[in-house]
Amino acid sequence: MNSALLLQWLLGALCGSMLFFAIVVAPTSFRALPADMSGTFLRRLFPLYYLWGLVVSLLCTSTAFYAADGITGIICAIVALLFVYVRTGLLPQLNRLRQGRQDGDTEATRQFRRLHLQSVLINAAQLLLLIGISLYSK
């Protein structure tokens, strides 16, 4: 298998898994489980989701650079850094704020919503970048 084909496969796997999580896993957990259980489930799953994204985006990065596709490599590295930022920066903050939100703390609720929106926008930006380079790369 040549490196360009491997890169396309990895990009497809990452995009597909991100879409599957956003479209199927998260909404289904809220429909199928009580609110407290779905929250617990997702809090356990999110670190794994971001770790998976990090590993695959790093594989994309190294494959792109090996294939001498520097722009794709740089974009994949940015996507990887965003996975690290959300997993190590935003998730711990969201988990701390979630308890205050459940206790009715309006400031915690406001901050939680802001950070949650930030994580959703980052995820959407990552997905758009990955789709864009999937279309761009050879």
Q: What is the pLDDT of residues 46-100, one digit of tens each?
A: 999 999 999 999 999 999 999 888 999 999 999 999 999 999 999 999 999 988 8
CA pair distance 32, 61, nearest whole angstrom: 36
Residue 103: CB atoms within 10 Å: 9
Quickly list DSSP for 65-90: HHTT-HHHHHHHHHHHHHHHHIIIII
pTM recorded for the entire structure: 0.91
The CA-to-CA distance between both ends of the chain, in Å, stands at 14
- What's the confidence (pLDDT) of residue 138? 64
CA pair distance 59, 76, nearest whole angstrom: 9
